[in-house]
Structure 1
């Protein structure tokens, strides 16, 4: 049990750090969008590079921040029934969801994105638009990386749910994702 809790702590710590890094990405995207709006409306100037940078930053934030969001229990779900369940029943719902939906879905996306990312890296894919970002392959690499982080966090959630089901509560900080 100690080993499983240690695994959860390490996964949670990884996604906490990644989430903190991604939060800086949100700050950067606000600055980029603000400057784009000012340039467009005040000076009637628009750059393809800046517009693509906004899209790339948004994609980076959502892909790389998804594991941290799962850690903080921030994903959208229908809580009408779930919130009324006992902690044990919630743990069963989480464990079944992780085993039958989250893990297979993440594995499918990781596996199918491999060729996609490889071909983008092989040709050093960039924007097809003149003046666009030349490093699109870096963004495409975030697809499997982001889903690996979600997969890891799902494993952590599954372990915590299993620990709850067998009656050995995870640490409070572990259960809430505060590490």
Structure 2
């Protein structure tokens, strides 16, 4: 039952991660078009620049869970790479409990209020010609960190199973 739960979380993360990858291509095309418009035609739009950082923000936010799913997150591997699979699992379990889960909780909790206010007032860019949907980007903060926490549950459970001898490290 635990393995089925882990697979469902991982599948959700895969779908969201693959969709997020499409944003990278969109961002490259958008930046190239922005640069061409600026240097070739000497025109620039605030909305295009804002869209660039909105897309970059979404890449960063929604890429977090996918990165954790594929063990691509940053960690100091100087000692970790020499640990046994069980010791690595222990480090991962402790890391989830001390850093990942409390960090996600703090971001979700602190962003919830300003997200609520942003949605209530339909916040938009203060710049003339800016984008009208800043509220959407702020709403993505708690959602993305919720997804990261959910993927953290999968990561935690996989490593806990290794510690309990119920799974091999390669499965985790």
Which TM-score tier does this pair reach, normalised by the shorter chain? over 0.9
Q: Are residue 168 (structure 1) and residue 166 (structure 2) matched? A: yes
Q: Are residue 104 (structure 1) and residue 102 (structure 2) matched? A: yes
1:53 aligned counterpart, secondary structure: helix
Instruction: Give the aligned length.
Output: 172
Structure 2 contact 162–169 (Cα < 8 Å) conserved: no
Q: Please, what TM-score do these two structures have when normalized by structure 1?
A: 0.93
- Decide which of 42, 45, 53 is 2:40's aligned counterpart: 42
Match of 2:139 in 1: 141
Q: Are residue 156 (structure 1) and residue 154 (structure 2) matched? A: yes
Deviating beyond 3 angstroms after TM superposition, the runs of 4 or more aligned structure 1 residues are none
Cα distance per residue 1:103-155 (max 9 Å; x no partner): 01101111111111000000000000000010000000110011001101111
CA distance in 2, matches of 1:90, 1:59: 31
Which structure carries more relative contact order (alpha carbon 8 Å, separation 6+)?
A: 1
Match of 1:126 in 2: 124
Cα distance per residue 1:74-125 (max 9 Å; x no partner): 1111110111101000000000000111101101111111111000000000
CA distance in 2, matches of 1:163, 1:32: 44
Q: Please, what TM-score do these two structures have when normalized by structure 2?
A: 0.97
Shift of residue 170 of structure 1? 5.4
CA distance in 1, matches of 2:135, 2:128: 17
CA-based RMSD: 1.1
Q: Counterparts in 2 of 1:86-105, with a 5 A limit?
A: 86-105=84-103
CA distance in 2, matches of 1:170, 1:159: 12
CA distance in 1, matches of 2:160, 2:79: 20
- Decide which of 53, 57, 60 is 1:59's aligned counterpart: 57
Structure 1 contact 125–135 (Cα < 8 Å) conserved: yes
Unaligned runs of 5+ in 1: none
- Decide which of 70, 78, 81 is 1:80's aligned counterpart: 78
Shift of residue 4 of structure 1? 1.1
